[in-house]
Amino acid sequence: MKALMWPVATYDCESWTLRKNEETRLEAFVMKGLRRILCVSWTAKKTNEWSLNKTGVKRELLDTVKARKLAYYGHTMRKQRERNNARNNVRSMQARRSHTDWIDNIKTWTGLLVEESIRMTEEWDKWRKHIHGVANPRIEDAKEQNRVI
């Protein structure tokens, strides 16, 4: 599944601005592909969870896109720092609406202010661990947050 569809689905994903609509469309793309692989009609009364269980696939396309985008952000900020322009680059990106949305994705996913994220990207290992935590949330952590005591 990954080898066949993901290069098409993630082409140039580092530059995308992901809104809720795009996230939904990515999930729909995966589900449509699974149904085609399973030869299940879109009118058949089979849930997405059934398709996922039948194929043994996990929902990880969106997490992959987030990880690639965050890695690209860290890479560009480190390169800009080498040129002493990281903060100016972010300010110029915030001046245009489409880039503001791109930066908003980074701020939302990391939970950091722009200046904090720039400082964090300077330490590659620390940034990489942070990306992994954002893009691959642990299932156990989610269960703990949703558990009623």
Q: Of 34, 58, 82, which one is at a domain's C-terminal end?
A: 58
Are 73 and 103 in contact by the 8 Å Cβ rule? The answer is no
pLDDT band at 111 (very low <50, low <70, confident <90, very high): confident
Tell me the C-alpha distance between 94 and 103, whole Å. Answer: 7
Tell me the C-alpha distance between 97 and 63, whole Å. Answer: 24
Task: For residues 44 and 74, state if they share a domain.
Answer: no
Instruction: Name residues whose C-beta falls within 8 Å of residue 120's C-beta, 6 or more positions apart in sequence.
Output: 110, 112, 126, 127, 130
Task: For residues 31 and 95, state if they share a domain.
Answer: no
User: Per residue in 22-73, pLDDT tens?
Assistant: 889 989 888 888 888 899 988 888 888 998 899 888 888 888 888 899 989 8
Task: For residues 28 and 80, state if they share a domain.
Answer: no
Percent of the chain with pLDDT over 90: 3
Task: For residues 33 and 95, state if they share a domain.
Answer: no
**Residue 35 belongs to some domain of the structure:** yes
Instruction: Name residues whose C-beta falls within 8 Å of residue 144's C-beta, 6 or more positions apart in sequence.
Output: none
**Residue 144 belongs to some domain of the structure:** no
Instruction: Name residues whose C-beta falls within 8 Å of residue 124's C-beta, 6 or more positions apart in sequence.
Output: 74, 78
Task: For residues 36 and 97, state if they share a domain.
Answer: no
Task: For residues 71 and 114, state if they share a domain.
Answer: yes
**Residue 120 belongs to some domain of the structure:** yes
Query: What would the two tokens of residue 70 be?
Result: 């965050």
**Residue 119 belongs to some domain of the structure:** yes
Residue 52: give the domain boundaries. Answer: 18-58
The type of residue at 107 is K
